[in-house]
């Protein structure tokens, strides 16, 4: 694995305001190979996500993506925004099925800034939608951010 | 109709060693190229002791760490072929890094049946898994809502 990809820049509590939008993340179209990879990586081998015959049999018209892959996209959005160890809470509700070739866009808004348990925290809402604007997953998060001069 | 007497029941605990390669593989599938998820050197250069768990890495703890999960669901009367994943929520209590050894205990914290307008019924189950690391520190609470149609 090459490590040429850039590290996200560090974000401070003071940099974030209520109402701020998290920079959008537009993912590449979902592919069958990606779902096979995700099955192996996550350990969720439900054939609904990898075997087109099962999807046909169940009458859902082909394979559907793992909900957790979509949550993974939202996790990438948040990890890019606050860093990997800043999240305190992250929850989503799965709203509709994602199919092959769907292009998922993740977005979010900051809804709150507060201090709790000795930490400066932000809270926000997030969602993942497809190319038609259909919501696939939506939810909320809480993250702790460092304060300037506080380290 | 879901058997309410199963609420509060915990499944046997399981142990899972957090693997650097698994975090790498999961983020490859997601398409998250942040180098700290793919290389120990990059993670250490960024100030972490090892590759950190990415936000949804806990899904690997459940599926790879607890291969009997489905069996346990069957044992409490769940038709696993009809499960839809409704919600997932993580509460991160302390950082988790590659090399950590986690012990997880999953408890059925809620279960109810609901009647749809068309007369069919579905069960809504809430499971919570608490993870403790090798130092006895609670690091993660994972809450999951499964809908059984």
Residue with tokens 């979010």: A108
Query: Is A7's CB within 8 Å of B90's CB?
Result: no
| Pick from A7, A71, A91: CB nearest B34 | A7
Average pLDDT over residues B97-106: 98
pLDDT digits (tens, 9 = 90+) for A76-106: 999 999 999 999 999 999 999 999 999 999 9
User: What ipTM was reported for this prediction?
Assistant: 0.95
Q: How far is B113 from chain A (nearest CA, A)?
A: 19
CA atoms within 13 Å, Cβ hemisphere of A58:
16
Q: Delimit the domains of chain A by residue range.
A: 18-145
Look over chain A and give the mean of its residue pLDDT values, rounded to a whole number: 92
pLDDT digits (tens, 9 = 90+) for A40-78: 999 999 888 999 888 788 777 789 999 999 999 999 999
Selected for mutation to probe chain B from A55, A75, A88 (highest B CB count within 10 Å) is A75
pLDDT digits (tens, 9 = 90+) for B55-77: 999 999 999 999 899 899 999 88
Q: How far apart are CA B35 and CA A93, in angstroms?
A: 28
Q: How far is A114 from chain B (nearest CA, A)?
A: 18
Give the residue among B65, B148, B46 at the shortest CA–CA distance from B106: B65
* pLDDT at residue A116 in the model: 94
Q: How far is B62 from chain A (nearest CA, A)?
A: 8
pLDDT at B8 over 60: yes
User: Which superfamily is assigned to A18-145 in CATH?
Assistant: Hotdog Thioesterase (3.10.129.10)
Interface check A108 vs B, CB under 8 A: no
User: Which ranges constitute the DSSP H helices of chain B?
Assistant: 20-30, 40-45, 58-65, 69-75
Instruction: Find the helix or strand (DSSP H, E) in which B86 lies.
Output: strand B83-92
* pLDDT at residue B101 in the model: 98
Domains of chain B by range and CATH?
4-19+52-148 (3.10.129.10)
| Pick from A44, A69, A93: CB nearest B30 | A69
**Residues near A141 by Cβ (< 8 Å), separated by ≥ 6?**
A78, A87, A89, A90, A91, A108, A123, A124, A126
Average pLDDT over residues B127-145: 98
């Amino acid at each position: 694995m090459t490590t040429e990809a850039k590290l996200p820049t560090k974000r401070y509590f003071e940099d974030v305001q209520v109402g701020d939008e998290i920079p959008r993340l537009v993912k590449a179209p979902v592919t069958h190979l990606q779902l096979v990879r995700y099955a192996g990586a996550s350990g969720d081998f439900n054939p609904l996500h990898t075997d087109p015959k099962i999807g046909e049999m169940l009458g859902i018209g082909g394979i559907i993506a793992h909900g957790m892959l979509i949550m993974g996209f939202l996790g990438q959005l948040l990890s890019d925004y606050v860093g990997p160890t800043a999240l305190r809470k992250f929850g989503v509700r799965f709203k509709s099925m994602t199919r092959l070739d769907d292009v998922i866009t993740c977005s979010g808004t900051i809804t709150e800034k507060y201090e709790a348990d000795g930490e400066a925290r932000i809270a926000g809402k997030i969602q993942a939608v497809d190319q038609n604007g259909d919501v696939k997953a939506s939810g909320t998060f809480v993250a702790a951010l460092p304060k300037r001069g506080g380290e | 109709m879901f058997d309410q007497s199963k609420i509060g029941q915990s499944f046997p605990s399981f142990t899972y060693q957090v693997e650097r390669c698994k975090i790498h593989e999961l983020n490859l599938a997601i398409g998250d190229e942040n180098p700290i998820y793919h290389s120990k050197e990059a993670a250490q250069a960024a100030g972490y002791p090892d590759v950190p768990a990415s936000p949804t890495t806990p899904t690997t703890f459940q599926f790879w760490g607890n291969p009997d999960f489905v069996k346990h669901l069957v044992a409490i009367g769940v038709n696993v072929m009809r499960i839809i994943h409704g919600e997932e929520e993580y509460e991160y209590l302390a950082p988790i890094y590659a090399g950590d050894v986690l012990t997880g205990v999953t408890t059925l914290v809620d279960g109810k049946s609901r009647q749809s307008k068309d007369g069919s019924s579905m069960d809504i189950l809430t499971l919570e898994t608490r993870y403790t690391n090798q130092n006895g520190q609670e690091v993660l609470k994972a809450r999951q809502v499964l809908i059984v149609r």
